[in-house]
């Protein structure tokens, strides 16, 4: 996959591509990347890329000129061009699954009050929000989306790690424990030390249901639960109901 990031702050993006798992994916040739400073395409005396919004209001808006020249230089028309913005559709794991199939992704990092709408109309295929909060820059949001996508590409991380993780079947992941056996006078749940694989699976399934009920009850209505898991859920809710009495 080739990932191109158009930004005014390349120094925010570069460390992501040259660290950790992404660094390895780049080294293996699974991911290629290019960081483009679209200020380099400004053709005015001060390399100015933003201006006051028409109609008034606070802040500055990124002008279409330099940004669209940068987009043209990479032949962005018709490609998957992603603009992270708090006013976009909420980005989900399903979007990450879809985007991992693309050969090329282009990200536009906005700043200030956003970018001129005409650039969005002309080039952008997806406007994604990464959550209901506002960040200072599109760079951090782009990194979040790139991270969620590239880790799903074959060969980036171990397939087993992907098979049982939060959101795959609309349930959150179970808690994990490792050495040492005792930490701050808390011990590891006995079942995990029992060697009883059925017991461990059962415990983990229960924990996934409990965690989802606690933190994301909204996800349960969408979850495609097996009959076994439904029974477990009913058991848990019955037990909690009785405990509350
Ligand atoms: N830019 C600023 N805030 C954002 C958000 N929540 N999601 C995506 N892009 C953003």
Q: How far is the CA of 87 from the centre of ligand 1 (A)?
A: 8
* Residue 135 annotated as binding site: yes
Q: What is the number of the ligand 1 atom nearest to the C-alpha of 134?
A: 3
d(CA 69, CA 46): 17
Query: Is residue 31 within 8 Å of residue 153, measured between CB atoms?
Result: yes
- Report CA-CA distances (Å) from 201 to 111, 114, 122, 207, 219: 46, 47, 50, 10, 21
Q: Tell me the CA–centroid distance for residue 128 and ligand 1, in Å.
A: 8
114 lines ligand 1 (CB under 6 A): no
Residue 112: CB within 6 Å of ligand 1?
no
Q: Report the pLDDT value the prediction gives residue 31, as an integer from 0 to 100.
A: 98
Q: What is the pTM of this model?
A: 0.93
Nearest partner of 70 among 86, 61, 81, 55, judged by Cα: 81
Reading the block at residue 17, the tokens are 């591509």
pLDDT the model gives residue 86: 96
Ligand 1 pocket, residue 127 CB under 6 Å:
no
Three-state DSSP at 185 gives: coil
CA pair distance 229, 209, nearest whole angstrom: 8
- Closest CA to ligand 1's atom 7: 129
Per-chain mean pLDDT for the chain? 95
DSSP state of 175: P
Burial of residue 127, with CB atoms counted within 10 A of its CB: 0-12 exposed, 13-18 middle, 19 or more buried = middle
Which of 9, 12, 85 is the best mutation target for the ligand 1 pocket, counting ligand atoms within 8 Å of the beta carbon and taking the most? 85
Q: Is 85 close to ligand 1, i.e. is its CB under 6 Å away? A: yes
Listed as ranges, residues in the chain with pLDDT below 70 are 164
The two tokens of residue 233 are 């859920």
| Contact yes or no for 102/3 (Cβ under 8 A) | no
Q: Is the CB of 84 under 6 A from ligand 1?
A: yes
Q: Return the CA Rg of the chain.
A: 23
């Amino acid at each position: 996959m080739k990932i191109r990031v158009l930004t005014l702050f390349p120094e925010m993006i570069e460390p992501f591509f040259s660290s950790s798992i992404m660094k390895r994916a780049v080294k293996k040739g699974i991911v290629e990347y290019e960081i483009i400073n679209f200020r380099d395409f400004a053709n005015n005396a001060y390399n100015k890329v933003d201006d006051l919004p028409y109609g008034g209001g606070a802040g500055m808006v990124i002008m279409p000129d330099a940004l669209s020249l940068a987009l043209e230089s990479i032949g962005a028309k018709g490609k998957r061009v992603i603009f992270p913005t708090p006013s976009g559709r909420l980005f989900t794991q399903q979007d990450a699954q879809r985007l991992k199939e693309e050969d090329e992704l282009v990200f536009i990092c906005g700043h200030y009050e956003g970018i001129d709408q005409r650039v969005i109309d002309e080039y952008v295929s997806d406007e994604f929000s990464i959550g209901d909060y506002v960040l200072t820059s599109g760079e951090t949001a782009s990194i979040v989306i790139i991270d969620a996508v590239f880790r799903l590409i074959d060969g980036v991380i171990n397939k087993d790690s992907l098979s049982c993780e939060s959101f795959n079947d609309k349930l959150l992941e179970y808690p994990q424990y490792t050495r040492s056996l005792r930490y701050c006078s808390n011990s590891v749940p006995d079942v995990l030390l029992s060697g009883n694989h059925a017991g461990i699976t059962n415990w983990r399934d229960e924990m996934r249901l409990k965690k989802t009920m606690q933190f994301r009850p909204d996800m349960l209505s969408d979850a495609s639960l097996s009959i076994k898991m439904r029974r477990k859920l009913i058991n848990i809710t019955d037990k909690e109901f009785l405990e509350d009495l």
